[in-house]
Structure 1
Amino acid sequence: MHTTVGIVGAGPAGLLLARLLHNAGIDSVVLERRDRAYVEQRQRAGMLEQATADALRAAGAGARMDREGMPHHGIELRFGRRAHRIDFPSLTGGRSVMVYAQTEVVKDLIALQLAHGGPLLFDAEVTSVEGADSDSPAIRYLHEGREQTLTCDYVIGCDGFHGVARHAIPASVRTVYERTYPYSWLGILAEAPPVYAELVYAHSERGFALASMRSATVSRLYLQVPNGTDPAHWSDGRIWDELDARFATDGDPGWKLERGPVTSKAVLPMRSHVVEPMRHGRVFLAGDAAHIVPPTGAKGLNLAAADVIVLARALALWRRTGSTRLLDAYSDTCLRRVWRAEHFSYFMTTTLHTDPAQSAFETRLQLSQLERVAASPHAAAELAENYTGLPLAH
């Protein structure tokens, strides 16, 4: 087969790109190594920036999100045993975020692609991406028991950190920047109403905690734990008790989470990772194939969406005029936003978590920073602007 754009990976980045290209009249083929059932059940965070939600609507994939998603107009910070709310609209000129699980975004985009888009092949394991420096790079993959080749005008790697596409950028021209954090998250899904109408981020002497949600009846909750923690060593009761302790405030000393059955439990390592450049020849990287952020800033899915929005605009210009101006600028354009998001995620992570090796002096610095956010509209606006998402570059 030959196609204009070959897309490796049917996560939110690859699927949104395919939809944007379809709407621009550009043909594509999406290759996904897993089966459809697996892809539609992968559990990931689902905090959508204003621009991401708007892009899904513009792509025709926003109807169910607007019916079932939960708009959020702020977050609550808990520190020093007190609570402070950050109001997004008043600090950002009206912007907000949407809680809508990535799993549901993927389901919506798959349904659209299968009904109205180009080929979407599941169980298609890509083994290599070749010829990045040529005019017709090739994707080699296994499908239905046979090795097949897809030649393309352009290849887009949306297959994540462990995918094949990122290796099409030679090591000789690739620079990797990374940081591993000295703690992880123990995350649970629980059949219990959310603790609060918005997300709650807690800094405490016992470590970080986050109260989030999947729906009006399902909570998503996280605890900071040491790296290498086995979730089996944490009983449900111990998890709930620790969450109560970390969220406690003096203003409401008797406050407790509403408990319910824990349906899943997993430990998530924390890291930052950036590959530069995000393009080599006719191969481009997007999403986790190019960058990873710790989840504290809710930026992973949104960075992936921003990458493919920039890329779709660049490919549309090339198709209309033959100009590669925006394609040539893709890596630099995206990396400016990537590094801003990396910095914000680093700020949220290091301000709210307790490093096992940190001193009392460093803890006081964290509390001072949180006090500044609570007391200063300017500091609060900086947090709110980054959280709801900075404008997409053109």
Structure 2
Amino acid sequence: MRTQVGILGAGPAGLLLSHLLARAGIDSVVLEVRSREYVQHRVRAGVLEHPTVELLREVGLADRLDREGMPHEGVSLRFEGVDHRIDFIDLVGRGITVYGQQEVVKDLIAARLAAGGDLRFEVSDVALSGLADAPVISYTGPDGARHELRCDVVAGCDGFHGISRAAYRPEVFDREYPYAWLGILAKAAPTRHELAYASHDNGFALYSMRSPEITRLYLQVPPDTDVADWPDSRIWDELGTRLAADGFTLNEGPVLEKGVTGMRSFVAEPMRHGRLFLAGDAAHIVPPTGAKGMNLAIADVRVLAEALTAWFAGGGETGLDAYSDTCLRRVWRAEHFSWWMTSMLHNSPDGDPFTRRLQLSQLRYTVASRAAATSLAENYTGLPHGGGC
């Protein structure tokens, strides 16, 4: 078999890349080790930056997003029992949209299949060779047969634990944080229409939502936390304590999902090796506090699609050669913003009072200074794709 671009991973990065390439008349095959059912229902981030929403609209993938997404014009920083709203529209003239990553994936899969694109789930034993100039992807199909896919380029969109990054030895920058998030999905109508980031003496909490009927909530916990130690009643009590503010009420309801997520920052440089190009979580991870993970992946593939389109049209390798540096400028800006939000909002495990007072000082400054609030709003709503930061 042969195609122009072999894409590993059917997450937002790989699926959107296949769509962007198809619009330019470039063939691709998408390979995914998980089942379609799995990738369409794994709950991930739900905040879409303004440039992400604009891109999905531009390429005709935002019909359901525009119907069901929840536009937000700001967020709140909540500390010392007081809610402080950061008004995105006033500060930078744009907002964000809450729309679950799994919903984006469903839309992308539907568009890919409707267009007759080649999308293969439940492959295994994937291996790469010939990456210098003639890539080959070998894999076992669901029927147990072995296949070889020859391509001009491989896009490694297969996540942090995929095989793409392991195919070469990039320089790695890594930081693990001494706390995690205990997250729940609850069948409880949101009582407010925007996210609230709470800094409390007991630890961080986040109030968010996935739909008019479903709330998504998080608590800072130690990385070694056992979910079994957190029955629903304890979670609701702690959320009530950390999120408390004048005029705020917390709806409780059945907990649909519960899990602990560790937090890390990770960047692999460069994001290119021969004819292999990494995108999304295969190349970088951010702590979720800044809501940047899926948005970075989408920014990566936009840059990659433009570079590949020029190359296949005979325009040379300038865009491909610049791909890694172009993406990494935005990646490192997002890494810094996510680290800053994380450091400002999460209590240190040792309860250091000096650090706590620094955090409160930063929070007070951020909500009191228009310049500081504007910086938060600019980064949170999304910087331009393709560099410029």
Tell me if TM exceeds 0.5: yes
SS at match of 1:128: strand
For residue 139 of structure 1, what is the amino acid of its counterpart?
A: I
Query: Hey, what does 1:40 align to over in structure 2?
Result: 40
Name 1:16's counterpart in structure 2: 16
Q: Which is worse superposed, 77-86 or 381-390?
A: 77-86
Asked if 1 retains the 8 angstrom alpha-carbon contact of 2:125 and 2:140, the reply is: yes
CA deviation string 1:86-143 (max 9, x = no partner) = 0111111x21111010111000100110110421011122521111112x11111110
Matched, 1:364 2:357: yes
Aligned to 2:230: 234
Instruction: Please tell me the residue identity of whatever aligns with 1:369.
Output: Q
**Displacement, 1:359?**
1.7
- SS of the equivalent of 1:241 reads helix
Contact 2:208 / 2:216 at 8 angstroms: preserved in 1? Answer: yes
Count, aligned residues:
386
Instruction: Give the structure 2 partner of residue 334 of structure 1.
Output: 327
How far apart, CA to CA, are the structure 2 residues paired with 1:14 and 1:335? 18
Residue 378 (structure 1) aligns with:
371
- TM-aligned CA distance change 1:313 to 1:307, over 3 Å: same
Following the alignment from structure 1 to structure 2, what is the Cα–Cα distance between the partners of residues 24 and 373?
A: 44
Instruction: Give me the whole-angstrom Cα distance separating, in 1, the residues matched to 2:366 and 2:255.
Output: 34
Tell me the residue number matched to 1:189.
185
What CA distance in whole angstroms lies between the structure 2 residues aligned with 1:238 and 1:153? 54
Using the alignment, how far apart are the partners of 1:349 and 1:12 within structure 2? 24
Percent identity of paired positions between Structure 1 and Structure 2: 60
Q: Is 1:263 matched up with 2:262?
A: no
Q: After TM superposition, list the pairs within 5 Å mapping 1:1-394 onto structure 2.
A: 1-92=1-92, 94-134=93-133, 136-143=134-141, 144-169=143-168, 171=169, 174-249=170-245, 251-252=246-247, 255-393=248-386
Distance 2:261 2:37 in 1: 23
Deviations 1:244-291 (Å, cap 9, x if unpaired)?
Answer: 100113x34xx4311111111000001111100000100000000000
DSSP-derived class of the 1:66 partner:
helix
Assess if the C-alpha contact under 8 Å between 1:126 and 1:164 holds in 2: no
Q: Which residue type is aligned with residue 166 of structure 2?
A: H
Once the two structures are TM-superposed, the CA of residue 362 in structure 1 deviates from its matched residue by 1.0
In the alignment, the residues of structure 2 paired with residue 89 and residue 324 of structure 1 have an alpha-carbon distance, to the nearest angstrom, of: 39
Letter in 2 for 1:362: T
Quote the Cα distance in structure 2 between the aligned partners of 1:195 and 1:374. 23
2:211 and 2:217 mapped to 1: Cα distance?
Answer: 13
CA contact (8 A) 2:348 2:355 kept: no
**Aligned partners of 2:178 and 2:223 also within 8 Å:** yes
Give the secondary structure class of the aligned counterpart of 1:321.
Answer: coil
Which is worse superposed, 200-209 or 112-121? 112-121
Residue segments in structure 1 that go unaligned for 5+ positions in a row: none
Q: Distance in 2 between matches of 1:392 and 1:184?
A: 29
Matching residue's letter, 1:282: R
How far has the Cα of 1:307 moved from its partner?
Answer: 0.2
Helix, strand or coil: the match of 2:305? helix
Q: Deviation at 1:59?
A: 1.9
**DSSP 3-state at the match of 1:203:** strand
Amino acid across the alignment from 1:371: R
Q: Distance in 2 between matches of 1:12 and 1:67?
A: 19
- Opposite residue 115 of structure 1, the aligned amino acid is A
Cα distance between partner residues in 1 of 2:125 and 2:191: 43
Query: Match of 1:184, SS?
Result: strand
Q: Which amino acid aligns with 1:357?
A: D
Q: Distance in 2 between matches of 1:127 and 1:27?
A: 20
- Report if the CA contact (8 A) 1:195-1:211 is conserved: no
Q: What one-letter code is carried by the residue in structure 2 that aligns with 1:212?
A: S
Q: Name the TM-score, length of structure 2 as normaliser.
A: 0.97
Partners of 1:321 and 1:6 lie apart in 2 by 19
Alpha-carbon distance between aligned partners in 2 of 1:386 and 1:131, rounded to the nearest angstrom: 39
Deviation at 1:82, TM superposition (A): 1.1
Q: Could you tell me how far 1:357 is from its partner in structure 2?
A: 2.2
Using the alignment, how far apart are the partners of 1:124 and 1:55 within structure 2?
Answer: 30
> Which 5+ residue runs of structure 2 have no aligned equivalent?
none
User: 2-side partners of 1:2 and 1:321: how far apart?
Assistant: 20
The CA distance in 1 between the partners of 2:340 and 2:383, in whole Å, is 16
**Residue 107 and residue 165 in structure 1: after superposition, are their counterparts in 2 closer, same or farther (change >3 A)?**
same
Inter-partner Cα distance in structure 1 for 2:308 and 2:335:
26
